[in-house]
Amino acid sequence: MTLLNNKAIGKRIRHEREKLKLSREEFAELIGLSDYYVGQLERGERQMSLPTLVNIAVCLHVSLDYLVFGKQNCNTSYISDPSGSYKTHHEKLYEINSLLKKCSDKEIDLFLNLIKIIIPHIHYPSYTYINEK
C-alpha cells in the first residue's frame, strides 16, 4: 500500500500555482476554497478529497499523476486547427506568443487576467460540475 505524501503534493501545488503567477487568494477563489485551507494543503498539513484534488489539477493544468506522484505525462499534445492540419502544442504556443508580441503591456495584462480566469472552465467541462457540488 502506497501512502500519499501530503507535503510533496502540497509543494507541487504551490510550485505550479507560483508558475502561473497566481496568489494564494486568487488560486483559492478559482477553486472555490479559502486561502487558509489552500495554505494548509500547500504545507501538507491537510489531506484533500478527490474532487478537490481534481479541481486543483484542472486549475493548474497538470495531471493527477504529477500532483500525487510527481510524474509527468510524456505524451505530446496535438491541437487541430480549422484547416484540418495538426500542430503540436509547442507550435500553437509559439503562434500565440507571436501574436502577443504585437500587443501593448496593458493589453497583455488584460489577456493574462482573462486567461487565468477562463482556461480552467473551457478545457474541462467537469470542472464546473465538481466545483458546484
Q: What is the pLDDT of residues 45-60, one digit of tens each?
A: 999 999 999 999 988 8
- CATH 1.10.260.40 maps onto the chain at 6-69
77, 109, 118 from 113: Cα distances, Å:
24, 6, 9
pTM here is 0.57
- Classify residue 64 by burial, with Cβ atoms within 10 Å: 0-12, 13-18, 19+: middle
Task: Identify whether the C-beta of residue 66 lies closer than 8 Å to the C-beta of residue 72.
Answer: yes
pLDDT for residue 83 is more than 70: no
pLDDT in tens, 18-47: 988 889 999 999 899 999 999 999 999 999
Using CA atoms, how far apart are residues 116 and 133, in angstroms rounded to an integer? 22
Tell me which CATH homologous superfamily contains domain 6-69: lambda repressor-like DNA-binding domains (1.10.260.40)
